[in-house]
Amino acid sequence: MKSVSIQIGKKSSEPLYIQIYNEIRKLIMEDYYVNNERLPSIRALSNQLGVNTVTVINAYRLLQNDGFAEIKTGSGTYVKKRELKVISTSPESISDELYTSEDIELMNKGKIDINAAVVNFATTTPSPDIFPLEDFKRVIIETIDSDGAEAFNYQESLGFIGLREIISKKFFSEETSKKMSNIQIISGAQQGIDIVAKALLGQDDCVVVERPTYVGANAVFESRGAKIISVDIKSDGMDMEDLASVMRKYRPKIIYTIPTYHNPTGYIYSLEKRKELLRLAAAFGSYIIEDDYLSELNYYGVGNSNPATGNNQAIRTTQLSLKKMDTNDCTIFVKSFSKLLMPGLRIGFMVVPDHLMERINSAKRATDISTSGLIQRAFFRYIESGLWEKHLDRIMKIYKKRYELMLLYLEDMKKYGVKFTQPGGGFNFWVKLPMGMDANELYYHTAKRGVVFIPGSVFSYGRSSVSANYARLSFAQTDEADIKYGMTVLDDYIEKSAKGYRSANSVYPLV
């Protein structure tokens, strides 16, 4: 059996079993111990370190709980390295957000085989194990039994009337209930953004986006020959002074925004900035695309205080939506269900101003005639029967646990200089790395350990260096064991890099 050198501080305020756990965990992470190798016996290690056997037992139990070891009764404790999950090497396998091969090569320097990914903090696609398969299978069968061949026909181009009606009632309160004629069913938010761009944008028209922002939207606007102008986003929304200056100079056709649980930052627009955004759009004749993809995932209750902000900013879809507040009919509300339900269904809706409906509907017909009739009718039944709310309640509990677990690790990383904002909802953390640390470099090293995420520079138009030391960590597809392992890998590398940076930049007095 290998000898092991472990340093513990008996005068330290940190419990001895935690110190032992951390030391052995590092040896496992650094491949000093290989998979299935037996660790020192409890008695041998307790004698070596001069501690009680119970202390070593607690350390080994913690290693087992966190997935680094396996205790075999009567045999000993053995290293248990996580099996590698094989995923595709395409950019889409890392996330579903239209990253280019150039983005991926930039992150991994062309040398990382993504097949080695164990923990995927990059994707915002939900894991299949939380898909409501049985419930949705039942409504599919009920739809076919009830509607027969009509379920497989083309629907009205606006969408199935039953679905539009229930959306107008379920997603908007009585005083702001939207007419069915203003609701356009779409095949996901990406299609919705593309349809708006087709209908409204011409060559060299100007579009304002947040910096950073969802890369799929930028891809759409670029494809239409638009001129993209980025405005920095702060924790309470876009910099309104900067936006006003941009509006005066460029008079943009469209302002694209994700005001609730923004992607990638998780930020929530304040009420004041929502009002100012609407005022500026009306003053300069611009349209707002309001992209809502996760507003339901508010972990601290509708109308309850959000510990991230200290106020009531964390809200469900319509309470502070720009569309509800808009009195000038300049907002196009785009809602996707892909991230909340099952991404392959490709279902969502838009609420469109009256005077744009004909243009938007024409663009939709030119794109795919209509969204799948079977999926529309089945989703109508899914909402009507109460299964949608049941599903939301279920995933809320799952994601909240993941959110709070990742938050615990991030809080501990503050000692290295890590900074972040607590969004209180969604499933992203936008993490600012310690001074001198580059997110692409971090990705390169953690990917070799089987942990991937998206460096912040990917989300800035033109690959601006503004977000070079930011990382987006998503827990959409990671269970609690994945989070523990992945955050441990990140912690280890960030700790080493932070110490190295401080040492390299130390100033010594002249003697």
Residues 155, 371 contacting (CB under 8 angstroms)? yes
> Is the sign of the CA dihedral 93, 99, 101, 102 positive or negative?
negative
Mean predicted lDDT score pLDDT of the chain: 85
Question: Over the stretch 292-342, which tens digit does the pLDDT of each residue have?
Answer: 989 999 998 654 444 444 443 333 333 479 999 999 999 999 999 988 999
343 shares a domain with 440: no
Element at 452 (helix H, strand E): strand 451-452
Question: How many degrees, rounded to 5, is the angle at CA 294 between CA 282 and CA 242?
Answer: 35
Last residue of some domain: 351, 384, 417? 384
Q: How many CB atoms lie within 10 A of CB 100?
A: 12
What mean pLDDT is predicted for residues 13-25?
87
What tokens appear for 118 in the block?
């164990």
101-115, 245-259, 470-484: the lowest-pLDDT one? 101-115
The answer to the question of residue 429 being in a domain is yes
CA separation for the pair 89, 87 (Å, rounded): 7
258 shares a domain with 215: yes
pLDDT higher at 105 or 62:
62
Give which of 456, 482, 455 is closest to 401, Cα–Cα.
482
71-75, 408-412, 480-484, 500-504: the lowest-pLDDT one? 500-504
What mean pLDDT is predicted for residues 448-469?
81
Question: Tell me, what CATH number does 474's domain have?
Answer: 3.90.1150.10
CA separation for the pair 268, 345 (Å, rounded): 27
372 shares a domain with 328: yes
Structure confidence at residue 334 (pLDDT)? 97
Q: Would residue 278 be called left, alpha or beta, if left means φ above 0 and alpha means ψ between -120 and 50 degrees? A: alpha
115 shares a domain with 157: no
229-238, 265-274, 461-470: the lowest-pLDDT one? 461-470
pTM (two decimals) = 0.81
What mean pLDDT is predicted for residues 438-448?
90
291 shares a domain with 142: yes
Q: Is 193 helix (H, G, I), strand (E, B) or coil?
A: helix
The answer to the question of residue 509 being in a domain is no
What mean pLDDT is predicted for residues 11-17?
86
What mean pLDDT is predicted for residues 24-38?
84
Question: Over the stretch 112-161, which tens digit does the pLDDT of each residue have?
Answer: 444 445 789 999 988 888 999 999 999 999 999 999 999 898 888 899 99
Residues 249, 241 contacting (CB under 8 angstroms)? no
Structure confidence at residue 464 (pLDDT)? 56
Last residue of some domain: 327, 359, 384? 384
The answer to the question of residue 339 being in a domain is yes
Question: Over the stretch 56-97, which tens digit does the pLDDT of each residue have?
Answer: 999 999 888 878 899 998 899 999 876 544 444 444 444 455
The answer to the question of residue 5 being in a domain is no
Residues 467, 457 contacting (CB under 8 angstroms)? yes
Question: How many degrees, rounded to 5, is the angle at CA 263 between CA 96 and CA 369?
Answer: 55
What tokens appear for 323 in the block?
């569309």
* Bridging pattern class, strands 451-452 and 119-120: parallel
Percent of the chain with pLDDT over 70: 84
158 shares a domain with 113: no
The answer to the question of residue 84 being in a domain is no
The answer to the question of residue 255 being in a domain is yes
139 shares a domain with 126: no
The answer to the question of residue 9 being in a domain is no
Structure confidence at residue 190 (pLDDT)? 94
Structure confidence at residue 266 (pLDDT)? 94
171-180, 201-210, 335-344: the lowest-pLDDT one? 171-180
CA separation for the pair 104, 110 (Å, rounded): 8
170-184, 196-210, 294-308, 312-326: the lowest-pLDDT one? 312-326
* Bridging pattern class, strands 428-432 and 419-420: antiparallel
159 shares a domain with 50: no
Question: Over the stretch 402-420, which tens digit does the pLDDT of each residue have?
Answer: 999 999 999 999 999 999 9
Q: Which domain holds residue 375?
A: 133-169+183-384
Residues 200, 254 contacting (CB under 8 angstroms)? yes
451 shares a domain with 376: no
373 shares a domain with 226: yes
Structure confidence at residue 181 (pLDDT)? 84
70 shares a domain with 189: no
Domains of the chain: total: 3
Task: Say if residue 164's pLDDT is above 50.
Answer: yes
233 shares a domain with 188: yes
Structure confidence at residue 282 (pLDDT)? 97
The answer to the question of residue 4 being in a domain is no
Residues 339, 426 contacting (CB under 8 angstroms)? no
What is 276-335 written as a DSSP string?
Answer: HHHHHHHHHT-EEEEEESSTT-BTT-TTSPBTTTTBS----TTTS-HHHH-SSS-EEEEE
Question: Tell me, what CATH number does 352's domain have?
Answer: 3.40.640.10
Last residue of some domain: 368, 384, 400? 384
